[in-house]
Amino acid sequence: MKERLTHQQLLEKNILKNDRLQEFQQIFYDIAGIIFTSRQDVRQRLADEFAPQRVQLNEELSKTWKTIAISLDVWTSKNSLPILGMIDYWLTPEFQYQ
C-alpha cells in the first residue's frame, strides 16, 4: 500500500529541499503587477472564464458543425490527480477548420 504524505511532507519532498528556492521565489516578486492568490481563487477565476466561453462555443457549434472529431488524453499526475485532456475539431460550412 502506498504511503500517503501530508501536504507539509509533499512540500518538503518537492520544494523546500531546494537550496535555490529563495532565488526562484524572487523571480515572481520581481515581476510588476503579479498577484499571488490561493488555489481556490485560481479555480474560481477559471470557472468564471470558462462559463462565457462555453456559451460562445455552443452558439458557434449550433450554427456551423455537422461532425466533430474528438481527441482524448487521460493520465494520472504524480500525486494521483486524474487529468483529462480533450481537443475537438470540426469544419465550418466554408470548410474552415475550427
What does the buried/exposed string (b/e) look like for 60-83 if buried means 16 or more CB atoms within 10 Å of the residue's CB? Answer: eeeeeeeeeeeeeeeeeeeeeeee
CA 67 from chain center: how many Å? Answer: 26
* pLDDT values of the chain reduced to their tens digit, one per residue, 98 residues: 667 877 777 766 666 556 677 777 788 778 877 776 777 888 888 889 989 999 998 888 887 777 788 899 998 888 888 888 988 888 777 777 76
Q: What is the pTM of this model?
A: 0.44
Q: What is the DSSP string of 59-77?
A: HHHHHH-S-EEEEEEEEE-
Domain regions of the chain by residue span: 7-90
